[in-house]
Amino acid sequence: MAATSTRHDTHSTTAGGGWSTKRIAVTALFCAVSAICTLFIEFPIIPGVTFLKYDPSAIVAMIAGFAFGPATGAIVSIIPYLVHLATESGIYGCLMAIMACFTLVVPASIIYQRNTTFKGAIIGMVVGAVCCIVSALIANMIVTPIYMGATMEEVMALIPLLLIFNGIKILINCVVTALVYKPISKALEN
């Protein structure tokens, strides 16, 4: 995962080092691919717990964050999930999905931006994983009782399932990102 000699957005079209046309276009492409993932490629990963669904959109956001930095990772962690406002997930699903993706991708991207090696990517993904799991648990304790009308005891009983689900989801996202980032990064340079 070592970075090449150039970052993907070195030719700015604005004064002062703003975003290049390429970066804007690729960010929009990442957002579109991520939205497709979150709308059409989602499935439960824990048998019998169908409301916890996995989608690979965080992989897309993490690749964007590694390739173009944490700001791009943040954008691709937020914009594609806004489509959930028009689905059965509603605002609850939208907020929870954004929070989970954002807290995984942004810390990983910040660390990788400072250390663009495979080791830096692994450290970033581990830190992002911890941030994501902690924020998901806190958010579920706050939002789930309001949204689902569940008691705090019912939410606390779900914590083992939430830990398993988030652990599996994060592991899939990080392993796939580690496997596909380098070839995608090379393709983005062309």
Taking only the tens place, the pLDDT of each residue in 21-71 is 888 998 999 999 999 988 888 888 988 878 788 999 999 999 999 999 999
Q: Contact at 8 Å (CB) between 66 and 1?
A: yes
State the Cα–Cα distance between residues 86 and 178, nearest whole angstrom: 32
pLDDT band (50, 70, 90) for residue 16:
low
Quick one: pLDDT at residue 17? 60
Taking only the tens place, the pLDDT of each residue in 158-173 is 889 989 999 999 999 9
| DSSP conformation class of 43 | E
Quick one: pLDDT at residue 87? 72
State the Cα–Cα distance between residues 61 and 48, nearest whole angstrom: 28
Q: What are phi and psi of 4, to 5 degrees?
A: -85, 180
Quick one: pLDDT at residue 94? 84
